[in-house]
Amino acid sequence: MNTWVILGAIVALVLMRLRKPSMLTWAAAWWVAMFAIVRYGFTVPVPISVVKLYMGLITAGLVAYVLTDEERIEQVCQPVLAFMTQKRFQLPLLATMLAIPALFAWSIYAGMTRDPQAPAFARTVHPAPPDEITVHDNTVSIGTADNPYRALEETDPEAFGARLANGREVYYANCFYCHGDIMAGEGMYAHALNPIPTSFQDPGTIAMLREAFLFWRIAKGAPGLPEEGGPWASAMPAWESFLTEEEMWNVVLFLYEFTGHRPRAVEEHH
């Protein structure tokens, strides 16, 4: 809530009440005050379609209020009639008659001339990784390394399960904001980002990558992307600053487990 706007609108309406305005001024003031509250009274921006809907309802309410009493109808019609018929209003009347079509023309013109869109750049989504990277003083050769804990899936399902549980924790503490609850790239921040966070459900992503590739992307994030991958403005953080190596390998296990994809094997690479 934007307290100042709402307080301001209320104070303005109370002050107006004390001055006993004509029915037309009163209705106009209510309309403006309600518009100010709906449009600017909330810190979260209200979509323009919702504003229009509310203003439609408020307008209908005010019209109904005026129409239910002959005296009120009179009070509203009088100044309007006077404006249209009395000689002293001739010039303002002419100006109004010209302004109305001009406003229409302007709004149509404004609607037709859109801001130019930034051109779409083609970019390499999966650029070639570096041969090796250094993470927490350890050298990992991306070309040949496998997930050091993948073998547990066969040899020690219990230990593997514990790693998956840790990977799940890491994911829901750090990654779901962008990559989403169900890993479809639908996190709450996703719509603000370009490129959008990868949907791991998409068969074109982790299903065709090796685990070491993911490890590289997670550890080094957008800052670690090679030049050729550009122009990039990826928001993917470099997680080596926040996670241990084990946590990063564990979250990789969890990405595959959750989506049901299998990583591309090291052998295929050669």
Q: Could you give the C-alpha distances from 178 to 4, 9, 168, 191, 248, in angstroms and in order?
A: 34, 39, 15, 9, 17
- Minimum Å gap between C-beta 183 and ligand HEC is 9
- Minimum Å gap between C-beta 251 and ligand HEC is 5
Nearer to ligand HEC (CB atom), residue 16 or residue 190: 190
- Minimum Å gap between C-beta 229 and ligand HEC is 8
The torsion of the CA quartet 29, 34, 35, 36, rounded to 10 degrees, works out to 90
- Minimum Å gap between C-beta 223 and ligand HEC is 10
Whether residue 133 contacts residue 142, with contact meaning beta carbons closer than 8 Å, is answered with: yes
Nearer to ligand HEC (CB atom), residue 179 or residue 210: 179
Whether residue 58 contacts residue 34, with contact meaning beta carbons closer than 8 Å, is answered with: yes
- Minimum Å gap between C-beta 169 and ligand HEC is 11
Return residues touching ligand HEC (CB under 6 A).
126, 170, 174-175, 177-179, 189, 193, 195, 197-198, 205, 214, 217-218, 222, 234-237, 239, 251
Return the number of other C-beta atoms located less than 10 Å from residue 3's C-beta. Answer: 9
- Minimum Å gap between C-beta 268 and ligand HEC is 17
Nearer to ligand HEC (CB atom), residue 41 or residue 185: 185
Nearer to ligand HEC (CB atom), residue 65 or residue 189: 189
Nearer to ligand HEC (CB atom), residue 3 or residue 194: 194
Return the number of other C-beta atoms located less than 10 Å from residue 270's C-beta. Answer: 6
Nearer to ligand HEC (CB atom), residue 17 or residue 126: 126
Burial of 213 (0-12, 13-18, 19+ CB in 10 A): buried
Nearer to ligand HEC (CB atom), residue 34 or residue 170: 170
Tell me how far apart the alpha carbons of residues 252 and 218 are, in angstroms, rounded to a whole number.
9
- Minimum Å gap between C-beta 259 and ligand HEC is 11
Q: Could you give the C-alpha distances from 168 to 24, 26, 182, 252, in angstroms and in order?
A: 62, 59, 12, 10
What is the distance, to the nearest Å, from the Cα of residue 110 to the centroid of all Cα atoms in its chain?
A: 25
Q: Could you give the C-alpha distances from 183 to 175, 211, 260, in angstroms and in order?
A: 9, 17, 11
